[in-house]
Structure 1
C-alpha cells in the first residue's frame, strides 16, 4: 500500500486543499523550539502550518502512529491516531483549532464563514478525498473523534519544551 504522504505529494489538488484551507504543509516539518515527549517516546515532525505550528508522529512505526500538533505559542494536543485520521479531520473540519467546544453547532458557524470566502469548498474537499482514496465522516463524527483523542488518549502525550523542562499547555480546555 502506498503511503498517504506520497499520495498527498502526487495529488496536486489534494495537496493544495490541505495547504489551504487545511493549513497543513508537508514542507514545514521543523518545529521552532526544541521539544520532546515526557514519556521519552520518539517524536518526528513531518508537517506544519502557516503559523509555525508542527505536526509530529509519536513513537515508532509509520503513518499509523499517533499525531500530536504543537502551535508556536506553547500549546499542544494529540489530535489523531494515524495520518489517515488526521487528513480526514483536515478535510472535513479544517477549522478544527477554533472548535474549542467540539460541537457541531460551533463548527457549522465556522464552516459558513469559510464558505463565504470559498463557495467551492465542499466540492474541492470531496475531490481531494476521492484523489486520496479516503471516505469522510460528517462534521459531528470528526469532532467527536477529535474530542475523544484530545481528552482521553492524549493524556499520555505531553510535549515538553526541552530547554526549560516545561510542558506545553493543552490546546483545548476540557
Structure 2
C-alpha cells in the first residue's frame, strides 16, 4: 500500500495531516500554471488551506522530491519523497513559520500551536504510529529541511508558466 493510500485509509492520520499539517489530499488546480525550469514533470498531490500546492517532481512514485508552492509566488523543495515530507509535517507542522529554520523559531511557533491544540503531540504520535513512521526530533527535521531546501532545492526552480518568472525561495539560507 502506498503512503498516500495509507493516509486515506486512516482518518486520524488524514485529519492530522489536513490540520495542523495543512496537507489536504483533495485536488484542485494551483493558483496559476507552473513548471520546473528543468522541464521535469510536476504532479500535484495535496493542497494547503491558503491555496498552496504540494507537487511530486519528475517521474516515478512516492520517492520523488516534493516541492511546495504557495499562492503568493514562493516555493521550496521540502523533502525527498513523501515519507520524508509526512515525517516533517507530523514533526514540525509550523515549518512555514520558520523561514530561517531555527529551533528558536520552531519553539515559538510550537507554543502558539499548543495553545490552540493542546493534544497536538498525542494526535501526532497516533498518526505516526498508524502510518508506521518514526519521527525525527524537531532539530533533525529542521536540519534536513534546510539541507533539502537550500541544497538540493537549488536545482528545483519553479516558474510561472505564463510569464516565465521564478518563484521566490521560502527560506533564508
Q: TM-score, with normalisation over the residues of structure 1?
A: 0.98
| Superposition deviation, residue 29 in structure 1 | 4.9
- Matched residues in 2 for 1:47 and 1:98: separation? 19
- Matched residues in 1 for 2:104 and 2:138: separation? 10
- Matched residues in 1 for 2:75 and 2:105: separation? 21
- Segments of 5+ residues of structure 1 without an aligned counterpart are none
Offset from partner CA, 1:1-30 (integer Å, 9 cap, x none): x10000000000000000000000010352
- Matched residues in 2 for 1:60 and 1:145: separation? 23
1:95 corresponds to: 94
- Give the length in aligned residue pairs: 173
2:117 corresponds to: 118
- Segments of 5+ residues of structure 2 without an aligned counterpart are none
| Contact 1:29-1:55 at 8 Å conserved across structures | no
1:42 corresponds to: 41
- Matched residues in 1 for 2:150 and 2:103: separation? 17
Q: TM-score, with normalisation over the residues of structure 2?
A: 0.98
Cα-Cα RMSD: 0.8
Offset from partner CA, 1:106-161 (integer Å, 9 cap, x none): 10111111111111000000000000000000100000000000110001100010
| Superposition deviation, residue 167 in structure 1 | 0.8
In the TM superposition, structure 1's runs of 4+ consecutive aligned residues that sit over 2 Å from their partners are none
- Matched residues in 2 for 1:104 and 1:28: separation? 32
